[in-house]
Structure 1
Amino acid sequence: MPLSKEAIQHIESQAVIAAAKPITVEGGTTVTVLPEGIRLHTMEVFQPLRDRFRGAMVTHSIEDFAKYVKAHETDDAAPVDPRGFIDQDAMRATIIFNLGAPGAAGHGDDTAMLTLKPTAAYSALLAIRGSTLSQQALAEWLEDWLPNLEAKAGEADLPMLQAINAVRRMVIKATSQRDSNVGDFSSSRSAMDEIEAKSQDTLPSAFIFTTVPFEGLQPAHITLRLSVITGRDEPLLKLRWVGEEAQREEFAREFKAVLEQQVGGFVPLTIGTFALGK
Structure 2
Amino acid sequence: MDQTAIQAIRDLALSAYQQNEIDKLTLALVPSDHKIESLEKYQQFPRAFRGVFSTDVLEQYIAYINANATDQSAVYIDQVGMTALGIIDQGDGANPEWGRHKAKLALNKTPGFAALLENNGRWLKQNDLIEFVEDWISNLTFTDPDGEMLTPQLILNTLKKLTVKTVSETNQESQAYTQGLTKLEQLEVKAKGAELPEQFSFAVEPYVGFDTRVFVAKLQGRSDGNQVLLRYRILQLEQETTAIGLEFIDKLKAGITIPGLPIYLGSMQYQA
TM-score (normalised: structure 1) = 0.75
Q: Equivalent residue for 2:49?
A: 53
Match of 2:135 among 125, 144, 167: 144
RMSD across aligned positions (CA): 2.2
Change (3 A) 1:192 1:88: closer
Shift of 1:216: 2.4
Q: 2:247 aligned with 1:254, yes or no?
A: yes
1:194 and 1:52 map into 2 onto residues whose CA distance is 70
Give 1:220's match in structure 2, choosing from 213, 225, 232: 213
Question: Shift of residue 51 of structure 1?
Answer: 0.2
Find the partner of 2:188 among 167, 173, 196: 196
| 1:94 maps to 2:88 | no
Q: Indicate how the Cα distance of structure 1 residues 221 and 195 shifts in structure 2: closer, same or farther if over 3 A, else same.
A: closer
Aligned AA for 1:165?
Answer: N
| Deviation at residue 272 of structure 1 after TM alignment | 0.2
Query: Within the alignment, does 1:114 sit opposite 2:105 as a pair?
Result: yes
Deviations 1:25-72 (A, max 9, x none): xxxxxxxxxxxx985311111111100112110001111111111111
Could you list the runs of 5+ residues in structure 2 that have no partner in the other structure? 1-32, 171-182
Q: Distance in 2 between matches of 1:208 and 1:123?
A: 15
CA contact (8 A) 1:69 1:263 kept: yes
Residue 159 of structure 2 is matched in structure 1 by 167
SS for the counterpart of 1:273 is: coil
The answer as to whether partners of 2:123 and 2:229 remain within 8 angstroms in 1 is: yes
Q: Deviations over 1:96-143 (max 9, x none)?
A: 111111111111111111111111111211222222111111111101
Change beyond 3 A, Cα 1:53–1:277: closer
Aligned to 2:66: 70
Cα distance, 1:38–1:127 mapped onto 2, change above 3 Å: farther
Alpha-carbon shift at residue 196 of structure 1 (Å): 2.2
Aligned to 1:13: none
- Aligned-residue offset at 1:144: 0.9
Contact 1:196 1:230 in 2 (8 A): no
Query: CA deviation digits over 1:158-181, x for unaligned, max 9?
Result: 212212211111111134579xxx
Distance 1:108 1:237, change over 3 A: same
1:50 corresponds to which letter in structure 2? P
- The 1-side partners of 2:257 and 2:221 are apart by 47
Indicate the SS of the match to 2:255: helix
Tell me if the contact between 1:80 and 1:97 (Cα under 8 Å) persists in the aligned partners: no
AA partner of residue 163 (structure 1): I
- Kindly indicate whether the alpha-carbon contact (under 8 Å) linking 1:80 and 1:98 is maintained by their aligned counterparts in 2: no
Distance across 2 between alignment mates of 1:71 and 1:156: 52
Q: Kindly provide the CA deviation profile for residues 212-233 of structure 1, in whole angstroms up to 9, marking residues without a partner as x.
A: 1112211111112111123523
**Higher radius of gyration, 1 or 2:** 1
Alignment of 1:6-25 (within 5 A): none
- C-alpha deviation, 1:156, in angstroms: 2.1
Overall identity of the aligned pairs, in %: 25
- Pair 1:210-2:206 in alignment: no
TM-score by length of 2: 0.76
Contact 1:142 1:164 (8 Å CA) reproduced = yes
What is the number of equivalent residue pairs in this alignment? 225
